[in-house]
Structure 1
Amino acid sequence: MEETRFYDDVADFWAVAQDLYEAEPAKHTTALSVIHALVDAPQPDAAPPVFVTLHDDTTGSLLGAALRTPPWPMALSGIRPDGVSLLTKELLAAHPELDSVMGPRDVVDAFAPTWAAATSRTVRPILDLRLYRLGDLLVPQVEGRARLASEADLDLLAEHWVAFSSEANAHRPSTFADARDGAHRLLTLGAGYVIWEVDGVPVSTACAKFPNAGASRIGPVYTPPAHRQHGYAAAATAAAASWALSAGATEVLLYTDLANPTSNGVYQRIGFRPVADYAEVAFDQPT
């Protein structure tokens, strides 16, 4: 038999789930970033997060973990497909409002129809993602130079963030104020936010999160349309990866949208190699 446990405090959840997540930092890169932010840069006015662990009720051993910071999807990387049934049952009782999940494709493919059937909702695919890990970094020869952003650059970072969200995450638009707060939070958390400049003009940006359990994930990466087709995104990403390695990362990761072959090609050309496929889905109320 199995049991679930819910937590009100991130520290209590982390005390139980830390070993699970840190054992495979690439697989759990999203969850690790979320936990790092909750611990080191909490937002007092944020919606209450959801933390849950699955256990063997005889031995008490940990079988899985999941977390969510609304309005973001629940991160399912700590759940196995065979834990979906129990997780669905317990979430249905405690958090029936759950409207989106993200995780390894096999887990999402198991969870989505189960949750949809239990809640009488329909599944709406949001993103098909591929997780990449850096092999040997190949630094492209591109005009310009990299510099690290500071708080003086927050307006620029916010402009790029809003534009990136509009193109890549149209289902979850970002306001300028929210984007500025998000960029400020990343800098506060120690991220390396790279600005690629040509003759002093910013032409691309790329953010590398501060390493967690040895892993740093890059994103967002954005180049305004007027500056595309010059290799600037590759150059900014390579500079962000170099920063991550110098900051102590043993793994540098990023997600790509499989619907965007251009970005997938760019990252592979500078040394990123596929690890696994992930998916994000939403659950819509019947109309």
Structure 2
Amino acid sequence: MRSDDSPRSDDSPRPDDSPRPEHWHRTEDLDRFLDRAGDFLRSRPAAHTVMLSVTEAVRRRGPGAYGDEPPVYGLLQRDGAVRATYLQTPPYQLQVTALTTEEADSLAAHLAGLGRMVPGVGGEHETAAAFAAAWQTRTGATATILQRQRLYRLGTLTVPEPAPAGRARIATTSDRSQLAKWYEEFTEAIGEQGIDRDSWADARIAYGGATFWQTPDGTPVAMAGVTSQVAGQVRVAPVYTPAELRGRGYAGAVTAEVSRAARDAGADEVLLFTDLANPTSNALYQRIGYRPVSDFAVYDFEAGAVSEE
């Protein structure tokens, strides 16, 4: 695999009104990436919530936070300014910020030229669709949409009433096995490949990033997680209630509690994603006070590997 982390020159003449050259630059050095792209990511904390939370997790836990293979980061520059970014934490999908159709095609060309394995893509709906089409054209991969999502931002918090019996409490070390078990059940329920469940539980416990709703006798019946705060934003994820305990108000109660706590801790924006195929969760979060921001999509690529040019 060759590095693409240094600028390329373009000495060919062009008309004065033609677009200036744009180059994608790749690195596995998180500090280098954030030095160059950090201001860009912080400029739109809601739209860039995934990249902000993933890079913060890697900063805290190291390059093995999401798997054995180190993450890869990239940015697109125009006249010295960052225009867009991408990241991939193998073996998971590529994540991209907003791109034009032309930029999506140039990213596909860049990654194909590096011989990168791209198992899928996630991003704002139009961007993800444009990259999926470009990747399919350039590599022959089959692109299939896995999930249509909606990003929500908390407005005025409305705590569901009446609240179910019990209370919220932050998960601690003694809850490690329960937290890990529910995380595994959650990822299986939504059809996603999660990271190691024990590592996930340890990471959330370390910063108080998981909360249970428990019944009066102390039995946990639902959980809600939050990402650590970065650039003034946190994202609620995941929210899970075992199937046999649903319909009793536990998810709404614990989501409202972690949303309130995030606000009290100083978060400017409290965000969450929903699956648009699940009308129940979309309606629940809107009743609590979440309002739509934009739509996202996740695509899967079959035979998404290409040979290095």
Cross-structure match for 2:201: 183
Once the two structures are TM-superposed, the CA of residue 120 in structure 1 deviates from its matched residue by: 0.8
Q: 1:237 to 1:61 in 2, by over 3 A?
A: same
Distance (Å, rounded) in 2 between the aligned partners of 1:65 and 1:77: 6
Cross-structure match for 2:168: 146
Give yes or no for the alignment of 1:247 onto 2:269.
no
State the AA in 2 paired with 1:236.
V
Single out whichever of 32-41 and 73-82 deviates more from structure 2: 73-82
Give yes or no for the alignment of 1:108 onto 2:128.
yes
Once the two structures are TM-superposed, the CA of residue 179 in structure 1 deviates from its matched residue by: 1.2
Give yes or no for the alignment of 1:6 onto 2:26.
yes
CA offsets 1:93-136 (integer angstroms, 9 cap, x no match)? 11431111100001011110110111111011111100000000
- Structure 2: runs of 5+ lacking an equivalent: 1-20, 305-309
Distance (Å, rounded) in 2 between the aligned partners of 1:81 and 1:185: 37
Percentage of identical aligned residues? 36
Cross-structure match for 1:211: 229
Q: 1:95 to 1:32 in 2, by over 3 A?
A: farther
Once the two structures are TM-superposed, the CA of residue 192 in structure 1 deviates from its matched residue by: 3.0
Give yes or no for the alignment of 1:54 onto 2:72.
no
Q: For the Cα contact (< 8 Å) 1:137–1:271, is it kept in 2?
A: yes
Q: For the Cα contact (< 8 Å) 1:55–1:62, is it kept in 2?
A: yes
Cross-structure match for 2:7: none
* Residue 89 of structure 2, aligned match among 38, 53, 69: 69
Matches within 5 A, 1:98-137: 98-137=118-157
- Structure 1 runs (4+) deviating above 6 angstroms are none
Q: For the Cα contact (< 8 Å) 1:64–1:80, is it kept in 2?
A: no
Give the aligned CA root-mean-square deviation in angstroms.
1.5
- Structure (1 or 2) with the larger CA radius of gyration: 2
Cross-structure match for 1:194: 211
Distance (Å, rounded) in 2 between the aligned partners of 1:153 and 1:132: 29
Distance (Å, rounded) in 1 between the aligned partners of 2:209 and 2:29: 28
Q: For the Cα contact (< 8 Å) 1:132–1:272, is it kept in 2?
A: yes
Q: For the Cα contact (< 8 Å) 2:211–2:254, is it kept in 1?
A: yes
CA offsets 1:232-263 (integer angstroms, 9 cap, x no match)? 00000011111111221111000000111111
State the AA in 1 paired with 2:221.
V
Cross-structure match for 1:165: 187
Once the two structures are TM-superposed, the CA of residue 191 in structure 1 deviates from its matched residue by: 4.3
Distance (Å, rounded) in 2 between the aligned partners of 1:171 and 1:115: 22
Q: For the Cα contact (< 8 Å) 1:65–1:79, is it kept in 2?
A: no
Distance (Å, rounded) in 2 between the aligned partners of 1:51 and 1:134: 29
Cross-structure match for 2:8: none
Once the two structures are TM-superposed, the CA of residue 78 in structure 1 deviates from its matched residue by: 4.9
Give yes or no for the alignment of 1:31 onto 2:51.
yes
Q: Secondary structure at the match of 1:166?
A: helix
TM normalised by structure 2 equals 0.87
Once the two structures are TM-superposed, the CA of residue 212 in structure 1 deviates from its matched residue by: 1.0
Count of residues paired in the alignment: 279
Distance (Å, rounded) in 1 between the aligned partners of 2:117 and 2:88: 12
TM normalised by structure 1 equals 0.93
Once the two structures are TM-superposed, the CA of residue 8 in structure 1 deviates from its matched residue by: 2.2
- Structure 1: runs of 5+ lacking an equivalent: none
Q: For the Cα contact (< 8 Å) 2:28–2:73, is it kept in 1?
A: yes
